[in-house]
Amino acid sequence: DGKELVRLKRRSLYLRRVLLLLVLILLAKAFYLQVVRGQYYEERAKNISLRKYQVRAPRGRIYDRKGRPLAINRPSFNFYVVPGYLGKAERPVLLENLSKYLGLDREKVEEKLAKNKRGRWTPLILKRDLSQKELALVEERDWLFPGTMVVAEGKRYYPHGSLAAHLLGYVGEVSEEELRSDDYYPWDMVGRSGVEKEYEEVLRGIPGWERWEVDAHGKRRELKDSSRPVPGDDIYLTLDLELQEVAEKLLEGKQGAIVAMDPRNGEILAMASSPGFDPNMFVKGIPPDEWKVLSQSKTHPLQNRCIQGLYPAGSVFKIVVALAGLEEGKVRPKDEFFCGGGYPFGGRVYRCWKKGGHGHVDLRRAIVESCDVYFYNLGHELGVDTIHKYGAVLGLGDKTGIDLPHEKGGLLPCSSWKKKVLGEIWYPGETLSLAIGQGYLQVTPLQLDLMLSRVVNGGWKIRPHVLLKVVKGEEERSWKGEDRKRLPFKRWDLAFLKDALEGVVEDPHGTGRAARIPGIAVGGKTGTAQVVAMKEDGDEDEELPPHWREHAWFVAFAPVEDPRIAVAVLVEHGGHGGSTAAPLAREMIKAYLQKEDSHG
């Protein structure tokens, strides 16, 4: 036992010596770190820190129906400052050099820094899309720009400039309100109009992040960790780039709109609005003076006239009235009315566009030659509410449901509407004006194109759309609309109308003869929409100011036997639809069908 006790004491002494040695080593290490190297590590702690930065996701690209790019991303170098690194010494140095080398207004930068509400460590953008010269300068002389960093990011780019600008839309910097309500980060670019806005959630992607070791001046020194962003999905549109180019060329120098649709399924083949704008100007941030010019222009270049412009339909509306008369049994194709150039009613004469009158006219000839007196008679027989019923089924008086933002629904009047909104009863004379597409009626070019399509496609209810498919990697999701539904119209009534509309273009006295294409059967309807009231004597005032002149309409489809394209053309203050708008529709149809036929 005594020997065992001695052995335990020796072991205890040994352990105490080992522990003492360890303590001495730790004390020595602490002395070395805190005293010998203390100043070094203090400076290092001051000068080095880790910062986590968001990495923006590449925005999804937009293509036309054949895969040709309409909106893509280009490499861009953006210049940021992290306000938390700007002390009393650094701030004046940065402000002076930003002005000296990058041409940034010192007062505006100071104002931006003063108004910053996004936190001291949130990067604040100073300048987007540095030039190569500016990039080389800030990288070679980074000590002149304390607290700053250059970040390579994708910049939205529209390779065709103003082409299809109203349909594509544009992007702009995220607002304070959006930062509070959505999962956005400061300085994100978001869709502001058109497809860019409508499909923002599809295009935007999921951001990543990077954790950097930075020095005391905020300069990134070493990447420590990262998570890659997920790009947004790509979008393919129903748009045909070549047909869009034709439409925009036809509208050069005019104010107006052209919409082309496949009447079988509602696919938008072209959508042009004039005048237009270049969406690239919004990417870097449009200067206030340029924005003022655009937004306050009397020609409204930012307005998509195809879905936002509201106009009287003029004689194009006679398609609705004719269909209502046939369906309700108020008229048969061979029923005639006499047109002597005017229709006496309620103490005044409602005139026909043809001063001498058309004589005895049946329904087909009334459509072909656009006899107003025939439709005054038919409109009076039908009444406003019956006309309203058929116009609504054909897509008037409400939004079409196209997948674009800010569409307007127009106005298709009825007796209850007038009582509710104006507090007045509907007068029979107002029905006469409505029967030829005047009065309270307001439509968009897209609505008239949809109306025509539903008539000539055999009475199928289609919904216009611009999305063809969404592509994410190897996956594709095609546009899925509503199930096809046949509208409650008699097929022989639709067939009669289709034949009459062909007569508008092909008959010798048709008002749309300017839309003829050799070898292609074309149907259509002219329209001339008044901007101001007619004179009582019926004489036209050739001296009217341009902004009081009539709007020119033409809607058309082809080939008549199996329509593959339906077009609506509006030329503001263009005069007569047959002479001004019909030739534009002809060129659209010719360009599309000849190209399609050549491709088999």
The single-letter code of the amino acid at 375 is F
Distance CA 132, CA 273 (A): 36
Say yes or no: domain 241-276+304-598 is CATH 3.30.365.10.
no
Task: Answer for the pair 363, 322: CB distance below 8 angstroms, yes or no.
Answer: yes
Task: Answer for the pair 50, 220: CB distance below 8 angstroms, yes or no.
Answer: no
Catalytically annotated residue among 162, 193, 273, 315: 315
Task: Answer for the pair 199, 232: CB distance below 8 angstroms, yes or no.
Answer: no
Give me the pLDDT at residue 481, please: 75
Fold category of 51-237 in CATH: Penicillin-binding protein 2a (Domain 2) (3.90.1310)
Task: Answer for the pair 324, 392: CB distance below 8 angstroms, yes or no.
Answer: no
Give me the pLDDT at residue 6, please: 67
Q: How confident is the model over 478-511, as pLDDT tens digits? A: 888 777 799 999 999 999 999 999 999 999 999 9
The single-letter code of the amino acid at 294 is L
Q: Cα–chain-centroid distance for residue 366?
A: 39
Count of Cβ atoms closer than 10 Å to residue 18 Cβ: 10
For residue 528, give the nearest of 551, 501, 555 by alpha carbon.
551
For residue 207, give the nearest of 55, 398, 351 by alpha carbon.
55
Q: List the chain residues with pLDDT less than 70.
A: 1-6, 8, 32-33, 35-48, 182, 532-547, 597-600
Q: How confident is the model over 154-167, as pLDDT tens digits? A: 999 999 999 999 99
Q: Number of helices (H) and strands (E) in the chain: give both, helices first.
A: 22, 23
Active site residue 315: yes
Give me the pLDDT at residue 142, please: 87
Give me the pLDDT at residue 85, please: 87
Give me the pLDDT at residue 48, please: 64
Give one DSSP letter per residue of 498-521, joined into a string. HHHHHHHHHSTT-TTGGG-BTTB-
> What phi and psi, each to the nearest 5 degrees, are found at residue 38?
-60, -45
Specify the DSSP element, H or E, that contains 45: helix 38-47
Task: Answer for the pair 441, 434: CB distance below 8 angstroms, yes or no.
Answer: yes
Task: Answer for the pair 381, 335: CB distance below 8 angstroms, yes or no.
Answer: no
Domain chopping of the chain, boundaries: 2-47, 51-237, 241-276+304-598
Task: Answer for the pair 196, 171: CB distance below 8 angstroms, yes or no.
Answer: yes
Count of Cβ atoms closer than 10 Å to residue 67 Cβ: 10
Give the 3-state DSSP-derived string for 86-125, with helices as H, strands as E and coil as C.
CCCCHHHHHHHHHHHHHCCCHHHHHHHHHHCCCCCCCCEE
C-alpha pair distances (Å), 587 with each of 39, 178, 472, 516, 555: 81, 44, 36, 10, 13
Sign of CA dihedral 209, 215, 219, 224: negative
